[in-house]
Structure 1
């Protein structure tokens, strides 16, 4: 095959263009810190990056869900703690009214205090976090006392397909029967009824609060463990994404030096191969 001067010139320009292209790609990787700047650079890396990024987005959503779960659990625990202290005080007053001989004024004072504690318990039962009632099941827009509530659990997804109930419903605490028993205590204290019979029921109401708070604490511990696991998954996902997309500067610098050397050599060879033409002498 006959090789002409123009063929040599075209080949030299093509090789120089390829060399500049490789250098430009290396410069882009160094400047952006990424292996690719567009999917066409490496479709495999691009597709794997989409999958890893979707996984990280899912983990980020779970982390936001954990914040929501902690908000529910922490506020519920605080409310149950206050309710437990209030019921402890009612127990003290009921025992005093049942076991001590006192005048009517003393009994009325105890009854009045229990009434005030009941009002405080109603306030605790109607605790709101933001615009949601936390003891009203999934009917969070309805007050626990005096509203059309339900006993459904509020569940938050904290893992792939794993939902954890984060609330305590009124079937466990703050039910109508809960407040009716307190009203009956007040009525018997004021009317001279048998107060002794209420000691056991009041202790059970207090114990029910403690039991529910303990159950809530167990769920809180599980949420903490799951959050720790999701945190580790995030670290691993970030590392996988970095390995897949991030450029290795040491390797890029080595390749850049090599390509620059090849470019200089190519320029030198091209200058020697592309010989002067008659036109150059006629200028």
Structure 2
């Protein structure tokens, strides 16, 4: 085969073109700091990089979910703690009123304070986090309780707000209003929950001065407090789980 000058020139031009393309690729790598600028540079590595980028995005989303869930449960626990303080104070007042030493004026003042405690419970039932009502189940844009203590909405105890905090790892972050204020039963509008019925009976007993009924109120308060402790224990367990998950995601 005869090698002509044109063949030699064309071969040189071809090699120069390849070298220029290779140089351009390396310059792009230096400029961008990336080994791959388009998937065709290395399809296998590109696929791995894409998966890694997706995994990182998922982890960041898990971190966001965990942070939001922790904040939600912190607000919930604060509200539950305040409910507990109210129940304890209501019990102290009931013991005073049922002792037989309280005067009519003392009982009247106790009744006024219990009415204020009841109003405070309603405010706690409508607690919010980031503009969302925390005890309203899925209806987070609607308050749970009316001013008279009746339920403003229906809330089933199955209305669990679930956050994904890992691969196949989900957690329920909310406490429903029925569970808290209706002794574990669903909330049904426009009825009152058991806790508010008990407070109304307590106030009526104070108004009548019936020591036997006031003693019954103590029993009812104790039942509600025991139920509250169960809820707080469950919330605490969920909070601890979220903190452990947060530590793993750092």
TM-score, normalised to structure 2, is: 0.86
Q: Out of 215, 218, 221, which is 2:234 matched to? A: 215
Q: Out of 147, 150, 162, which is 2:152 matched to? A: 147
Residue matched to 2:195: 178
Larger Rg: 1
1:110-259 aligned within 5 A = 110-145=110-145, 146-150=151-155, 151=157, 152-175=159-182, 176-193=193-210, 194=212, 195-231=214-250
Does the 8 Å CA contact 1:65/1:156 hold for their aligned counterparts?
A: yes
CA displacement at 1:34 relative to structure 2: 0.7
1:87-102 aligned within 5 A = 87-102=87-102
Gaps of 5+ in 2: 146-150, 183-192
1:72-83 aligned within 5 A = 72-83=72-83
CA displacement at 1:130 relative to structure 2: 3.1
Structure with the higher fraction of residues in helix conformation: 1
Q: C-alpha offsets along residues 57-82 of structure 1, whole Å, 9 cap, x if unaligned? A: 22222222222212321110111111
Classify the secondary structure of the residue corresponding to 2:180. coil
Partners of 2:100 and 2:246 lie apart in 1 by: 52
Partners of 1:141 and 1:16 lie apart in 2 by: 68
CA displacement at 1:221 relative to structure 2: 0.8
Classify the secondary structure of the residue corresponding to 1:172. helix
Partners of 2:235 and 2:46 lie apart in 1 by: 44
Partners of 1:21 and 1:210 lie apart in 2 by: 72
Q: C-alpha offsets along residues 149-196 of structure 1, whole Å, 9 cap, x if unaligned? A: 312222212223332111111233122111111111111111021112
Does the 8 Å CA contact 1:75/1:129 hold for their aligned counterparts?
A: yes
Residue matched to 1:262: none
Classify the secondary structure of the residue corresponding to 1:142. coil
Partners of 2:194 and 2:79 lie apart in 1 by: 19
Question: Structure 1 runs of 4+ off > 6 angstroms?
Answer: none
CA displacement at 1:8 relative to structure 2: 1.6
Classify the secondary structure of the residue corresponding to 1:157. strand
Q: C-alpha offsets along residues 220-248 of structure 1, whole Å, 9 cap, x if unaligned? A: 111122233334xxxxxxxxxxxxxxxxx
- The one of the two structures with greater contact order (alpha-carbon pairs below 8 A, sep at least 6) is 1
Residue matched to 1:256: none
Residue matched to 2:34: 34
Partners of 1:138 and 1:24 lie apart in 2 by: 56
Q: C-alpha offsets along residues 251-274 of structure 1, whole Å, 9 cap, x if unaligned? A: xxxxxxxxxxxxxxxxxxxxxxxx
CA displacement at 1:129 relative to structure 2: 2.0
1:252-267 aligned within 5 A = none
